[in-house]
Amino acid sequence: MSVDPQQSSKSQMLKEAQEAPERVREFLEGDLALYHELGAKLRALRPSVMGTFARGSSDNVATYASYLIPQCTGTVVASLPPSLVTVLESKLNLAKQFVLSISQSGGSPDINGALEHARQQGALTAALVNDVNSSLAKRAEVLLPQRAGAELSLAATKTVLCSMTAVARLAAEWSQDARLQVALRELPETMFEAYNRGTLVDPGYAEGVSSAFVLSRAYGMTAAQEVSLKIKELCGLHSESFSSAEVLHGPREIVNEKFLIIALALPGAGEKNVIDAAHQMKEQGARVVLFGSSTARTEALPFVEVPVTSDLRLAPIAALQLIYPWLERISKSLGRDPDRPRYLKSKVVKTL
C-alpha cells in the first residue's frame, strides 16, 4: 500500500486535528439515550450550581461550559480548583448539585480525588473523558465518553473539540434548545471547512515576535485561552489570553512592535468590542491578525474568516478547528517540532 507523501509529512498533531470533524460527527451520532437521560435528570434535579474540575486544555473546555450552560439553563457554572480538596482538604457543600470533570486521560490523582469528594458530598457527578477505562471514568455516576479516538500527540486537539461539542450537546439537551440541536448537526461540515481554511493562513505573522496576546469576549474566551496555551506549547512564545475589555486596563502597557495580537472577534460574543481593542493594539505597534465571521472584516487589519453554523454559540469550536493547523505551521516556521515540545514529555500529567 502506497503512502501519501503529504500525509506522511504531517505532524501527528496536524493529523489528529484533521480527524476532528469526523470524530465529532461520530460522537454526535452516538450516545443519544445517554444525553437525553442526563438532560432529563438535570431538569428534574434543578441544581443551582454546576461545578467543573479540569486542568490544561480540559479547563479551557470548562470555560466554554461557564458561558454556555448559564446562557442556556440559567444555572451558574463554577470552575472549582482541585486543590480545594486535594491540598486544602475543604468540605464542599455540593448536595444536589451537578459536578462535571473533564479529562482526556482520566488519570490525574487530583481530578480523581476532587470528583470522588463531590460524589461523597451528594453531588450528581459526571466525567467527560476519552479513556473510558480510566479511574476517573469509573468514579463518576455518569460516564460521558469523548469518542475522539486515540490521541497520541502531546498537544491535544481532537479531544478538545469533541469535549467542547459534548458541552454544547449537554447544554442543548438540558435546556431542550432546538436551535442549538439543529446547529450541532451542521457542525462537522463547518469544521471540515474551518480546517481547510486554517491550512492556508500565513504562518509568517509570528515571525520576529516575542509575545502574544489572544483577545476575545464571552464564548470566545474558551478559544482565546486554548490558543494562548497552544502558542506556549507549540511555538515556545510567551502568550496570554485576555477579554478585550480587560486588556485595555493594565495589560496594554506592555504591548509593542514585538507583540502578536490574535483577535477572535466571534459573532454574538462582543465582536465590535474585540475589533476596537485590536485597532488600539495596532496603534501601539503590535502585529494584529483578526479572526471572525464575514461581519468582522475590516480593511485595516489582516483578516481570516471563520465559518459558522446557524447557531453562533458554536463559533469557538470552528475557530479552534481553523487555528490549530495554523499554529502547527507557525511552530514549524519557528524551527520547532509540534510533536516534540522541549519539556513536556508525557500526555498524562499526574498532579496532586
Name residue 80's amino acid: L
Cell of 189: 461540515
Cell of 312: 453562533
pTM: 0.94
Cell of 242: 485576555
d(CA 327, CA 253): 26
- Per domain, the residue ranges of the chain are 5-176, 195-333
Judge whether 319 and 223 are in contact, CB under 8 Å. Answer: yes
CATH top-level class of 5-176 = alpha beta
- CB under 8 Å to 294, separation ≥6 — which residues? 305
| pLDDT, one tens digit for every residue, the chain (352 residues) | 333 444 448 999 999 999 999 999 999 999 999 999 999 999 999 999 999 999 999 999 999 999 999 999 999 999 999 999 999 999 999 999 999 999 999 888 999 999 999 999 999 999 999 999 999 999 999 999 999 999 999 999 999 999 999 999 999 999 999 999 999 999 999 999 999 999 999 999 999 999 999 999 999 999 999 999 999 999 999 999 999 999 999 999 999 999 999 999 999 889 999 999 999 999 999 999 999 999 899 989 999 999 999 999 999 999 999 999 999 999 999 999 999 988 876 656 666 6
Q: Is 242 helix (H, G, I), strand (E, B) or coil?
A: strand
**Chain centroid to CA 120:** 29
- Dihedral (C-alpha) 72, 79, 270, 255: value to the nearest 10 degrees? -170
Judge whether 338 and 211 are in contact, CB under 8 Å. Answer: no
Cell of 208: 520576529
Are domains 5-176 and 195-333 of this chain identical in fold? yes
Domain 195-333 has CATH 3.40.50.10490: yes
Q: List Cα–Cα distances, 352 to 7, 84, 90, 152, 298, in angstroms.
A: 39, 11, 14, 24, 47
